[in-house]
Amino acid sequence: MEKTAENPREILERRAKEAGFDLVGVTSAEPLHEGGERLRAWQNSGMAADMNYMKRPVELLSNPKKLQKSAKSVVSLGVSYYPGDHPDGSESSGGKVARYAWGRDYHEVIKKRLFELRHELEKELGTKIKARAFTDAVPLLERSAAQHAGLGFFGRNSCVINGEIGSYFFIADLIVDLDFEPDEHGTGTCGKCTRCMAACPTGAIKAPGIVDARLCISYLTIENKGAIPRNLRPLVGEWAFGCDICQEVCPYNKTKATKTRWPEFDPAKGAGPHLDIKEVLHIRSDDEFERRFAGTPLTRPGRAGILRNCCVVAGNMRLESAVPALVESLFEDESPTVRGHAAWALGEIGVGESALRKALESESEMGVVEEIEAALVR
């Protein structure tokens, strides 16, 4: 019996799976109206904090054709990054890193495979394909496109949840000038479960699917370029980069999380699950910071941002072994943000009063002076 020839959509799915993508879906390149309206309401509420890239016009962020005029389809792909659980017990001198950042920087890793996928599709379909390939790097509502393409549904924590692999996956996209058969929109529900809302330390999940970035630990430790508000620092806990709490408690991830098959996301290839607080606090130059974290997502907040986070973790852990590094940061770091958070940490640990008083005499930055005075009161 003659074998039935594959249609273009079947070829796409086969090639995508061969390229290592765990999820494959397609939606048309028409505007994402529902996602655009959700975004507009979120923007108007002020919950985007100072993330200006999320304040761009809804008409831009919700329309794939703004990125490529010839677009006909959006191929939405999912890549599991789940590396497993954090090691049992809290490391004595470590701050937690969100799972997506344990390995190499996903932007470049995935983009390379997207271009390889396009090349293989061109060969098998026998046509040139005009495409935009990206993951989390262009103005498009990628989660909305993924939901439209059938990759999953929006959970209460605003993550796209897939019924087979949970939510620990990157979303990647190919906007193409081909008419691929589209999928049904993703459906599903969290039911009556509100575990993520209850577990969020800062109460950032204001309503199902609505996260206030101003309170989110991931925003505070990554996208936020300034000080972490003093009242929120104790709630950051041991998270030195990002946060996984709302995903850790999700029942879908408890039973469905699928370990990544991509070697680039192996913890041994990147920063791993913890940062050594004392080691990081000794990084004094951007060059040294780049040597330490180049090729990983941890470069995103910059040197001052990572050191700021490590100061907060040191204070929350009452990490006395970090006191010498904190004192050094208080006196020697060029960043007022780092100096101020070092003072806060010393106040939380309850040691270093003489260092704080000495620093108060020489500090000229008013924000740091206020931090030192507050630390001395504590």
Number of helices (H), then strands (E), belonging to the chain: the values are 17, 11
> For residue 311, is it within any domain?
no
- Taking Cα atoms as reference points, which of 295, 301, 292 lies closest to residue 108? 295
Distance CA 94, CA 238 (A): 8
Kindly state the tokens that stand for 244. Answer: 């996984």
Structural domain count, the chain: 1
Classify 339 as helix, strand or coil.
Answer: helix
User: Which two structure tokens, joined as six digits, stand for 83?
Assistant: 């590396």
Phi/psi at 174 (5° precision): -120, 115
Q: What is the structure's pLDDT at 94?
A: 87
Contacts of 8 (CB under 8 A, 6+ apart): 125, 178, 180, 181
pLDDT of residue 80: 98
| Predicted TM-score (pTM) of this structure | 0.94
CA angle, residues 16, 27, 64, in degrees to nearest 5: 105
Take residue 50 and report the two structure tokens written for it. Answer: 């100072």
User: How many angstroms separate the CA atoms of 277 and 285, rounded?
Assistant: 16
Is 42 inside any structural domain? yes
How confident is the model at residue 194, as a pLDDT?
A: 97
Q: With respect to residue 255, please indicate whether it lies within any of the assigned structural domains.
A: yes
Q: At what angle do helices 8-18 and 106-125 cross, to 10 degrees?
A: 140
Is there a domain that residue 338 lies in?
A: no
pLDDT along the chain (378 residues), means of 10: 69 97 98 95 95 92 96 98 81 84 96 96 96 94 98 98 98 97 96 97 97 98 97 98 98 96 95 96 97 97 98 97 97 98 97 95 96 94
pLDDT, residue 86, reads 85
Active site residues: 136
Asked if residue 279 belongs to a domain, the reply is: no
pLDDT of residue 3: 42
Please give the pLDDT value at position 5.
Answer: 66
Q: Tokens standing for 333?
A: 């770091």
Q: Kindly state the tokens that stand for 94.
A: 């470590």
Residue 290 belongs to some domain of the structure: no
Q: Would you say residue 191 lies in a domain?
A: yes
Locate the DSSP E strands across 112-245. 131-134, 153-154, 160-161, 169-176, 205-207, 210-211, 239-241
- The confidence score (pLDDT) of residue 147 equals 98
Segments forming the whole domain that contains residue 111: 1-83+103-216+246-268
* Domain annotation covers residue 108: yes
For residue 361, the tally of other CB atoms under 10 A from its CB is 7
